[in-house]
Amino acid sequence: MSGDDTKPHLAHELPAYARSLGIRVERSEDGAPVLALDFSEIVEGRPTVFHGGATSGLLENAGYAALRAELHRRNRQARMKPIGMTVQFLSAAKSKTSYAQGRITRLGRRNANVEVEAWQDDRSRPVATAVMNILMVATGNDE
C-alpha cells in the first residue's frame, strides 16, 4: 500500500485530542503513517521546547495510527483500549517540527505491541520513544 492509500483513510481518524494539538498525517512509510506536529505555543513547555505531554501525545497517536493502518489492511475492525504505555524522553524536542511513526512488533487476535519513535531533523536520533501494549475488542466484521 502506498502512502497515498494510507493517508486519506487515516487523516479523518485522528482523534479530537490529536487535532487540537495540530497533529497531522504527513506521509506513509513502510505501510505506516508518519505523523507530524509543528512547534507552537500550544505544545510549548519551557521556552523553545516541546512539553512532554505533547511529545507523549504525538507518540501515542502515531502508535494507534500504525495499528489502525495494519488492521485496515487486514480488513479487521477493533476498538482499541490501552493496557500500558512507557515513554522514554531521550533529548529535548526543540522549536521545530517533530515526527513520529509506530511499528507493530506483535499483532494477535486480542492484543498488539507497538514501538514508536519521535524525531526532528534526523530520524536516527530520536527525541523520544514509546512502547505500547493495546487490547483490541473485535467490532463489525470480526464479531
pLDDT tens track for 45-90: 999 999 999 999 999 999 999 999 999 999 999 999 999 999 999 9
Residues of 66-87 as b/e, b for ≥16 C-beta within 10 angstroms? bbbbbbbeeebbbebeeeebeb
Residue 3 has pLDDT above 60, yes or no: no
101 φψ region: left (φ > 0), alpha (ψ -120 to 50), beta (else): beta
**46 secondary structure, DSSP code:** S
Pair 116, 55: CB distance under 8 Å: no
Range of the domain at 97: 3-142
Average pLDDT for the chain: 90
- Looking at the 3D structure of the chain, how many domains does it have? 1
* CATH code for the domain in which residue 61 is found: 3.10.129.10
Mean pLDDT of 83-111: 97
pLDDT given at position 12:
53
Put simply, whether the predicted model's pTM sits higher than 0.85 gets the answer: yes
Helix (H) or strand (E) holding 7: helix 3-11
pLDDT given at position 142:
47
